[in-house]
A and B are shown apart, each in its own frame.
Chain A
């Protein structure tokens, strides 16, 4: 059963999510990893090193849904599975590809139970659906955070494909968040901040703690809407879904939609003034108090303990 995986990349670098998608997809069959980019060479090199990859395919093009779905529909003929991460590219292109091929996709998969059996969360993670897909071809998006990454050390062959397709939609500009913190969707530790931070300046408390721990920074929808944090830091039903080993929630009460994004976290720490906040109830460890007093003390204490990553 052959598998085509669409690689995620950004700024000429393979996204850490791809290693996780490859490891999950390789349980379905041998994986061909497709890199679609204007300049795919460097990305293809790191893609080829992932264990479980049979072959890396490169295609000149751009990750805009209309042209990408057309390209993928041509390639899909050769495969039993087409798999992408449930990130903004996979969500954009896989349903379009599915309708083109007259197939029903299975998206946001968090567990592969067998070749045709998958688990996916619904109702913001408050229920889990077990789905059997007996169509002759399977189109999947997987939540990267739910799977362990593939190891490196492979040296799969790289093959360039022809077939550039003109997109109808044109990319005019990209505004990206300048940040040296870790990738949110795949980070081992995430520090999240809520509306209680009160301002973009204060939100730096969260960012500084994250830097100390080598963690990614997350935010609630309220904090993003208030302008304290950029939109791509939003964690929740409509933002990013995370499953770190450790999530530290600062000043977050825990709206249903935010909890949807963090349920996969192994350990949750909450710092909040309200002992009745849903996130405090959900946390493994909670400290009740004023975050503006606690965070500097915590940072100092972690320093004293020599915690550094």
Chain B
């Protein structure tokens, strides 16, 4: 069985981002970058499936600038077997990303494609679902448990009302939520070994996909600032504040 995992390099999730004053975007120069946390859960899920005898080969794919090789190396150090970087310096929309990944799926014919449910930079939460449509495969998004059952998967998903379990035939697309697993930190020997694993760098033009953006981002602005609050000294004052606020609340 072959598992394809698509990962993204993003501003590290612990970095407090700064919006550029000219409204063109978020400052990324000199900012720590790392693998999107949800993608790490997807890689870990693939490695665990492989360790349980369900994946002979794990292929990692990422789309981005040359330096995105570093997140592929991280995934290889976690236990994946080979990597593909689709190289581009352009910031692509999720639809273009999904189209590029659909080409890779066509070439690689994986039984399972794993992705993070969303990237913590644009918070889109699109790519897995779009890829599922383009590859005409069933999808299970926001997965918190994945089991291989016969020729299919049973996936528990985190939904608004609690948890839901879907059964889907393979090949299938699954997007990872945070409670799917605890991603491992690769030990040094694995990090060294990752450097000798195959990593193909392919120019984006090779895929013949129309990458023109559909939407225009007019500006990126900082969120509205909250007015600084105050600290009260007693429960009585706090209760009075709450009682007052509740009394003023508009009935819906």
Contacts and interface: CB of A to CB of B under 8 A. Distances in A.
A164 interface: no
A284 B229 CA distance: 4
B166 A66 contact: no
A64 interface: yes
Interface stretch (A25-33, A35-43, A197-205, A296-304): A296-304
Contacts of B166: 64, 169-172
Given A104-B95, A127-B26, A275-B231, A307 B246 contact: yes
B45 to A, nearest CB: 16
B16 A126 contact: yes
Interface in B215-243: 215-223, 226-243
Contacts of A135: 214-215
Contacts of A132: 215-216, 218
A246 B248 CA distance: 11
A131 B249 contact: no
Contacts of B205: none
Given A128-B221, A131-B218, A221 B17 contact: no
A168 interface: yes
B93 interface: yes
Residue from B13, B213, B237, B239 having most chain A Cβ neighbours under 10 A: B239
A129 B245 CA distance: 31
Interface string B140-178: 111010000000001001111111111111000000011
A160 interface: no
A267 interface: yes
Contact of A131 (B14, B168, B215): B215
Contact of B252 (A149, A225, A268): A149
Interface stretch (B54-62, B117-125, B195-203): B117-125
A242 to B, nearest CB: 12
B183 interface: no
A23 B215 CA distance: 25
A168 B168 contact: yes
A275 B232 CA distance: 11
Category for how many chain B residues contact A: 35 or more
A95 interface: yes
Interface stretch (A46-54, A76-84, A173-181): A173-181
Contacts of B139: 65-66, 92, 96, 169
Interface stretch (B82-90, B106-114, B127-135): B127-135
Given A174-B164, A301-B236, A99 B141 contact: no
Contacts of A168: 138, 168-169
Given A174-B163, A175-B162, A267-B245, A130 B141 contact: no
A10 B160 contact: yes
B98 A287 contact: no
A237 B19 CA distance: 18
A95 B123 contact: no
Given A126-B223, A130-B218, A301 B162 contact: no
Contacts of A171: 164-166
Contact of A65 (B122, B132, B178, B179): B132
Interface string B81-105: 0000000000001110010000000
A248 B242 contact: yes
B220 A302 contact: no
Interface of B: 11, 13-14, 16-17, 19, 26, 38, 93-95, 98, 117-118, 120-134, 138-142, 144, 154, 157-169, 177-179, 213-223, 226-243, 245-246, 249-250, 252
Q: Which 6 A-B pairs have the closest CB atoms?
A: A301-B239, A99-B130, A104-B214, A95-B129, A99-B133, A95-B126
